[in-house]
Amino acid sequence: MKAGRRLVLRWLAATVLLFSFLQAGADRGALAAGSREGKIAELKKAIPRFYEIYCTEETAAPLAGALAELEEADPADAGKSAELVDALAEGLGGLQFRWDSAVPRVYLATDDGSGASFGTRLDKSHDYVAAQITVVDEEGRVIACDTGWGGKVRIRGNTTSQGDKKPYNIRFSEKTDLFGMGASRKWVLLADLYDPTLMRNYLALDFGKRLGLASTPDFRRVEVWMDGVCQGLYLLTEKIDAGQLGLSTKNRSGDFLVEMVFAGTQEGDNIYFSTASGKYFRLREPEGASELLQKWIAEQLDQFEALLASGDWKKVSRMIDVDSFVAWYIQNEFFKTTDFADTSVYLHCRDGRYYGGPGWDFDLSAGNCNPEVYGEALPSFEGALAAEAHYFRYLMKYPEFRREVLRKYLEAREYLEETVKPGGLLDQQCERFREPLERNNARWFKGAESYIVWQKTPESTYEENIESLRAWMKQRELWLTDYLTSLAAGE
């Protein structure tokens, strides 16, 4: 654990410089008052807000003592001030964040401390606010830290932002690699409030990985603390952007990423446009595109849809990455993703070729939607959904595409069976994260009471919700096998 503590010294370059200065044998007593005050200010800036809560009691106490002594010290006493600089630096360097052997933790602190109560500044309608960000792994090692207030946090999402347990976008001051998922400044924290199992996003993204959907963002379960309060279990994921998808950001590269959203959506300075077919998109990449480029992208999407409807498979298969569209279809058809026909539908173009996905937003999938709002068909394990949505209503008419879907799905059946069997992935997740799940549910689980009208009324216990999901997935796998087999046979 000592090695983990020393990683805290990376928090701020000023701290390291201070130790170098002291070790060089400088005369502490000769430090000018202004210099001492400057060093103390730098050290105070590096102290994690809420360290008394976020760090172990035994390591927080020396720092708290040094700060208390500093308040009472006579500024004119140069020798004493120098001693306190040392004590403050040692207290900071000795901090050990609290950790959990079951799950990594993400510690967040906003500059005005309003995040835990979702005050006026940390709101969906506002932009990023300054924050300290520290990530601690299951062994207590600080693997990422941005405590000089260069980090940022904001509430994210559309429907999910309305829930009590808020999802977040976090942004480090520089590219940071979290758990081997690659270096990026931007990361996403999904709250999964509307899924009483907290499993649907995890399982759907994992299924996307197993299907070979390369655009699927990497992900990791974490426990999030905001401004001194535990917010519960979250899913940390890569942010879907040009870097994650390998798109060129050059203005004339022709690469772009769009997200189909509800018609009329307008948020901030984001760019939205409609195509001739009536689809409504948010332009995700490139950022800050000119009106001319926006018009060109809209024209490209119209031509793309016209080609899909042309009946010419040879041309279609040259224009699209078939494997990605097959995997994207299976992922969303199996989970019967509620919003897949209307919103959170990503499509990207790279080097003149179209790629399906990444798949996203699965908290209201796999039967977790209110039949009184959506009708009885959508939450049922029976019935096709993705096959009738946007691009797939064209693609599923091609025998070649249907055959490839069936082939890929039959390969994936073993994974689905392994997931829901006793002791499979679903049970493994429940057992591995049992204690973090209990902490999460103690605060957020309301029994047989839903958070939003679109959510299916949950079962009265967490375990019953898990069994409900297991049963739905088992039945869905059997139904979809028959459906896809009959489609392929009917060509």
Q: What DSSP letter does each residue of 217-252 carry, written as one string?
A: PPEEEEEEEETTEEEEEEEEEE--SHHHHT---STT
The pLDDT value recorded for residue 122 is 65
Q: How confident is the model at residue 29 (pLDDT cuts 50, 70, 90)?
A: very low
User: Are 259 and 381 in the same domain?
Assistant: yes
User: Are 80 and 194 in the same domain?
Assistant: no
pLDDT at 21 exceeding the cut of 70: no
Q: How confident is the model at residue 2 (pLDDT cuts 50, 70, 90)?
A: very low
**pLDDT, mean of residues 55-66:** 94
User: Are 230 and 259 in the same domain?
Assistant: no
For residue 314, the tally of other CB atoms under 10 A from its CB is 8
Beginning with the edge strand found earlier in the chain, give each strand of the sheet holding 345-350 in spatial order.
271-274, 280-285, 256-260, 345-350, 353-356
pLDDT at 31 exceeding the cut of 70: no
The pLDDT value recorded for residue 124 is 62
Residues 76-123: pLDDT tens digits? Answer: 666 777 788 888 889 998 999 999 999 999 999 998 887 776 555 566
User: Are 262 and 406 in the same domain?
Assistant: yes
User: Are 338 and 386 in the same domain?
Assistant: yes
User: Are 227 and 255 in the same domain?
Assistant: no
Q: What pTM value is reported for the model?
A: 0.90
Q: Where are the beta strands (DSSP E) in 178-318?
A: 183-190, 219-226, 229-238, 256-260, 271-274, 280-285
Query: If we measure between CA atoms, which residue out of 95, 36, 37 comes closest to residue 62?
Result: 95
- In what helix (H) or strand (E) does residue 174 lie, and over which residues does it extend? strand 168-177
Q: Crossing angle for the helix pair 200-211 and 322-335, nearest 10 degrees?
A: 150
The backbone region for 375, taken as left when phi is positive above 0, alpha when psi lies in -120 to 50, beta otherwise, is: left
**pLDDT, mean of residues 277-283:** 89
Cα–Cα dist 302/308, whole Å: 10
pLDDT at 32 exceeding the cut of 70: no
Contact 123, 155 (CB under 8 A): yes
Distances (CA, A) of 401 to 19, 315, 347, 365: 64, 13, 18, 24
pLDDT at 35 exceeding the cut of 80: no
User: Are 189 and 143 in the same domain?
Assistant: yes
Residues 161-193: pLDDT tens digits? Answer: 778 899 999 999 999 999 999 999 999 999 999
Residues 349-358: pLDDT tens digits? Answer: 999 999 999 9
The pLDDT value recorded for residue 148 is 80
Cα–Cα dist 406/136, whole Å: 42
Query: If we measure between CA atoms, which residue out of 250, 248, 273 comes closest to residue 263?
Result: 273
Choosing from 238, 273, 296, the residue where a domain stops is 238
- In what helix (H) or strand (E) does residue 197 lie, and over which residues does it extend? none
Residue 8 DSSP SS3: helix
100 in a structural domain? no
> How many domains does the chain fold into?
3
The pLDDT value recorded for residue 3 is 40
Half-sphere exposure of 133 (CA within 13 A, CB side): 26
Choosing from 238, 271, 294, the residue where a domain stops is 238
Pairing of the two strands 256-260 and 271-274: unpaired
Residue 114 DSSP SS3: coil
Instruction: Write down the residue that tokens 């946007």 correspond to.
Output: 390
Instruction: Write down the residue that tokens 């102290």 correspond to.
Output: 47
Tell me the backbone φ, ψ of residue 431, rounded to 5 degrees. -75, -45
User: Are 213 and 113 in the same domain?
Assistant: yes
What's the angle, vertex CA 129, arms to CA 10 and CA 57, rounded to 5? 45
Range of the domain at 144: 105-238
123 in a structural domain? yes
- Burial class from Cβ neighbours inside 10 Å (0-12, 13-18, 19+) for residue 43 reads buried
